[in-house]
Chain A
Amino acid sequence: MVLLAKAALGLGGTLVLAGAYTMREGVIRVDVDEFRSGGSHVHMWVPAAAIPMAMHFVPDKHWRHASEHVREAMPILHAVVKELRKYPDAVFVEIDDNNEHVRVRTTGGRIQIDVDAPDEKVHILCPLSTIEDVTVQMEEHGSGA
């Protein structure tokens, strides 16, 4: 009985540790709602730390393909994210009118993009550290290719 309890405790502890490690960088949150017939509704919560880990399993040919498409944007994105991390929370862009509201801001080390329009709502929250990790990996693979 004691042995079983120890095994369960060990398994539980491992799961909790794995969960805590996976969630250490927070989550990437994507919510998209299109209010029209056939419009998509995407609601996604992904542990941020899982993305750079998952990228290790992307085949080289896909890396090359992706790197070709984003080669020009990568250094800019990398520079922006690296710099953004140095600043306190701030609203960088805010566009308002009677119907639409767009906001790009940083909050707690994350970039948050909100679009509220009559025909769609988009909310994206992503840790800056994750974007930086991804851009670094893409640049490395791009230069390797």
Chain B
Amino acid sequence: MSDRTIRFFARTTLIATTVLVLSPLGTLAQSTAAPASSNQSTTSLSKDRWLHVRVISSDAKGESVKVNVPLELAEKVLPAINKDRLHAGRVKIDSAHMDDVDLRALVDAIRTTKDGEFVTVQSNECDVRVAKLNNHLIIHVLDKENAKKSEVEIKVPMKVIDALFSAGKDELDLVAALHALSAQGDTELVSVKDHENTVRVWLDSKNVTD
């Protein structure tokens, strides 16, 4: 083998070796550099729908909890959980409490009814309002009993409620409800405000909270 060939061979091997040596370093670098880039990631793929939960405590500890879950992930994972009352993405309702109420008939009645207020309670202790508006079931509770008022507002699309009760008399179909929820636009589902905590549950296409 001539000197020139050996030199060429050695140089080629050196370059290949350098590339091979650097490639795992690149992988390592990715693992450390990624946090910075991930912070810039604000919007997921447009088809992804994310459910966000945020709890902010106003006490001295100032605790805050943020949970962000892709709805599709929840849809896929829930059927894998088989524990207690939860099986195959459906949760069993305690029949002892539901024997006298036909929930499906109730839901059916609400769905077919025109928009309006179903329940209005006003008292010194609390105000309660249950209404149907623009295909959403709205529940609003204002607790006035304590010196510091607390307010709960729940807004659920009727399609989600339909899906939730689609399984059977004594079952709630969580997966079907999540699937129905994923078809909805950006919306706030739950809002709770009292003197200690603020809770928000909402749906959008962003993979980060505000």
Determine whether B30 belongs to the interface, using a CB cutoff of 8 Å to chain A: yes
| Count of A-B residue pairs with CB < 8 Å | 123
Q: Which of B36-44, B94-102, B113-121 contacts A (4 or more CB under 8 A)?
A: B36-44
Complex contact A23–B24 (CB within 8 A)? yes
What's the nearest-Cβ distance from chain B to residue A85, in Å?
Answer: 10
**Across the interface, do A108 and B70 meet the contact criterion of CB distance under 8 Å?**
no
B183 within 8 A of A: no
Q: Judging by beta carbons under 8 Å apart, are B38 and A24 in contact? A: no
Q: Majority SS of interface residues in chain A?
A: mixed
> A44 in the interface, Cβ–Cβ < 8 Å?
no
Considering only CB atoms, which chain A residue lies closest to B27 in the complex? Answer: A26
Contact check, B67 vs A13: say whether CB atoms are below 8 A apart: no
Contacts of B103 on A, CB cut-off 8 Å? none
Task: Kindly state the separation between the CA atoms of A76 and B81 in the bound complex, as whole angstroms.
Answer: 6
Partner of B34 from the list A27, A29, A80, A89 (CB cut-off 8 Å) is A89
- Give the residues in chain B near A12, CB-CB below 8 Å: 17
CB within 8 Å of B: which A1-34 residues: 2, 5, 9, 12-13, 16-17, 19-20, 23-27, 29
Asked if A105 CB lies within 8 Å of chain B CBs, one says yes
Give the distance in Å from the alpha carbon of A112 to the alpha carbon of B8 in the complex: 44
B28→A27 contact, CB < 8 A: yes
- Give a binary string over B12-27; 1 marks a CB under 8 Å from any A CB, 0 the rest: 0100110011011001
CB pair B67–A93 under 8 Å, yes or no, is yes
Given contacts A20-B24, A108-B31, contact A90 B67 (CB under 8 A): no
Q: A84-B73, A87-B48, A105-B38 are in contact. Are A92 and B31 (CB under 8 A)?
A: no
Q: Complex Cα distance A126/B10, Å?
A: 37
Most chain A CB within a 10 A radius of its CB, from B10, B21, B27, B60: B27
**Interface size on B (CB < 8 Å)?**
45
User: With an 8 A cutoff between CB atoms, is A39 at the interface?
Assistant: no
- Please tell me which one of the listed residues B28, B41, B65 contacts residue A88 in the complex, with CB atoms under 8 A apart: B41
Known: A26-B31, A90-B38, A108-B30. A2 touches B6 (CB 8 A): yes
Q: A12-B17, A16-B17, A95-B64 are in contact. Are A83 and B38 (CB under 8 A)?
A: no
B34 touches A108 (CB 8 A): yes
Partner of A83, one of B62, B64, B76: B76
Contacting A107 at CB < 8 Å: which of B31, B65, B67?
Answer: B31
Q: Which residue of A lies closest to B24 (CB)?
A: A23
Who on chain B is nearest to A93 by CB? B67
B contact residues around A19 at 8 Å (CB): 20-21, 24
By a CB distance below 8 angstroms, the chain A residues around B1 are 2
Instruction: Assess whether B63 is interfacial by the CB under 8 Å rule.
Output: yes
- Cα-based distance from A25 to B28 in the complex (angstroms): 9
A76 lies within 8 A of B80 (CB): yes
Sample of 26 A–B contacts (CB below 8 Å): A5-B10, A13-B17, A17-B20, A24-B23, A25-B27, A26-B27, A72-B82, A75-B80, A76-B81, A79-B76, A87-B48, A89-B37, A89-B38, A89-B41, A91-B209, A92-B69, A93-B65, A93-B67, A94-B64, A94-B65, A97-B62, A106-B38, A107-B34, A108-B31, A110-B34, A112-B35
Q: Lowest 10 CB-CB distances: which A-B pairs, in order? A: A89-B38, A23-B24, A108-B34, A97-B63, A90-B207, A107-B34, A94-B66, A83-B73, A75-B80, A79-B80
